[in-house]
Amino acid sequence: MSNKPRVAVFDFACCEGCQLQIVNLEEEILDLIGAVDVVEWREAMSEQSSNYDVAIIEGSITRPEDEERLWLIRSRAKVLIALGACATIGGINKLKNNFDLRDVKKWVYGKDAEKPHLNTELTRSVAQVVKVDYLIHGCPIDRKEFTYIMRCILTGKKPEIPEWPVCVECKLKDNRCLWETGQTCLGPIIRAGCGARCPSSGFRCFGCRGYVNNPNINAAKDVIERYGLDVEVLKRKMNLFGSGNTQVTANG
Ligand code: SF4
Ligand code: SF4
Ligand code: SF4
């Protein structure tokens, strides 16, 4: 058996878009795959394994059976990585937490809503259920950041994840602030690392990387003051990714 770390990729409730980002790494993926043994990855291979060192989890936890499966994966993995907003903060799936779950099931499944296999529960992020070692933020993840974090993990280094708001990256790019055009941009309170992807294309930041740590302290105060904003008011405007706790930390 090789000495390479054994890696398994698992998905829960998600669109699989973050896994697709990994598949699309092209040359980079060959380097990464050369450094590890991929032992399970439903999107890319048919083999399965219960023997792995690193578990990469995409998706949020939305059913009782998801929780059991996640605990089992956690018990087997030395290192657990939450991949993408669904896993790190619950993602878009958390929108359903704003409604009565019986209504949600009826809207989605109609007359089949009460069938037992369609059971559902409040959406949680992976870190709300088990201990997470590393978080890879974004919806979808940034491919470069994924590669960087994986390399750090494989070489025993601590990845540096930005602890400053999107506004910092946005201003470095000399973008015109979208608050001037009447858009409700959440950049002052959202963790950077995406290169201010949305504001640089003329769209508001809607918060897919979750809150910067301690937004009351670390928000972009100059933007907040210039446009007469308030951190708590901004948080209330985070309706796509903001249903519940969106500030998470990991030990990595
Ligand atoms: S974070 Fe976004 S892209 Fe990734 S799986 Fe969830 S919905 Fe899809
Ligand atoms: S609020 Fe949005 S548009 Fe304005 S500087 Fe911050 S990230 Fe850029
Ligand atoms: S700008 Fe905001 S919504 Fe867009 S990718 Fe970055 S964190 Fe996500």
Q: What is the pLDDT of residues 30-56, one digit of tens each?
A: 777 788 999 999 888 888 889 999 999
Which residues surround ligand 1 with Cβ inside 6 Å? 14-18, 58, 84-86, 91-92, 139-140
Residue 230 inside a domain? The answer is yes
- Ligand 3 centroid distance, CA of 17 (Å): 15
Average pLDDT over residues 101-118: 92
Number of folded domains that form the chain: 2
What pLDDT, on a 0 to 100 scale, did the predictor assign at position 92?
Answer: 93
- Ligand 2 centroid distance, CA of 241 (Å): 17
pLDDT band (50, 70, 90) for residue 245 = low
| Atom in ligand 3 nearest the alpha carbon of residue 195 | 6
Residue 243 inside a domain? The answer is no
Residue with CA at minimum distance from ligand 2 atom 6: 167
- Six-digit token string for 2: 């090789």
What pLDDT, on a 0 to 100 scale, did the predictor assign at position 31?
Answer: 78
CATH code of the domain in which 132 resides = 3.40.50.700
**Ligand nearest to C-alpha 197:** 3
133 and 173: one domain? no
Average pLDDT over residues 102-119: 92
Residue 223 inside a domain? The answer is yes
Residue 1 inside a domain? The answer is no
26 and 127: one domain? yes
Q: How many residues does the chain have?
A: 252
Closest CA to 242 of 98, 131, 126, 62: 98
User: Where does a domain end: 155, 175, 208?
Assistant: 155
| DSSP string for residues in 163-207 | -SBHHHHHHHTTPPPGGGGT----GGGBB--S-STTGGGT-----
Residue 247 inside a domain? The answer is no
Residue 245 inside a domain? The answer is no
84 and 138: one domain? yes
| Atom in ligand 2 nearest the alpha carbon of residue 205 | 2
User: What digits encode the pLDDT tens for the residues 83-105?
Assistant: 999 999 999 999 999 899 999 99
Average pLDDT over residues 2-15: 93
High-pLDDT (> 90) share of the chain, %: 79
- Ligand 2 centroid distance, CA of 184 (Å): 9
**Ligand nearest to C-alpha 176:** 2
What pLDDT, on a 0 to 100 scale, did the predictor assign at position 252?
Answer: 38
171 and 145: one domain? no
24 and 94: one domain? yes
123 and 202: one domain? no
The helix/strand/coil state of 41 is strand
- Ligand 1 centroid distance, CA of 198 (Å): 16
The answer, yes or no, to whether residue 200 has pLDDT greater than 60, is yes
Residue 106 inside a domain? The answer is yes
78 and 177: one domain? no
176 and 74: one domain? no
Which residues surround ligand 2 with Cβ inside 6 Å? 166-167, 170-171, 175, 177-179, 185, 187-188, 196, 199, 205, 220, 223
Average pLDDT over residues 176-200: 96
What pLDDT, on a 0 to 100 scale, did the predictor assign at position 46?
Answer: 87
| Atom in ligand 3 nearest the alpha carbon of residue 186 | 2
Residue 222 inside a domain? The answer is yes
Strand partners, 56: 9, 81
| Cα gap 168→175, rounded to integer Å | 11
69 and 176: one domain? no
120 and 173: one domain? no
217 and 97: one domain? no
What pLDDT, on a 0 to 100 scale, did the predictor assign at position 87?
Answer: 97
- Ligand 3 centroid distance, CA of 243 (Å): 17
Average pLDDT over residues 206-220: 94
71 and 92: one domain? yes
User: Where does a domain end: 110, 131, 155?
Assistant: 155
Q: Which domain holds residue 170?
A: 166-236
- For the chain, the average pLDDT equals 91
What strands, in cross-sheet order, belong to the sheet with 6-11? 37-41, 6-11, 54-58, 79-83, 134-136
What pLDDT, on a 0 to 100 scale, did the predictor assign at position 250?
Answer: 61
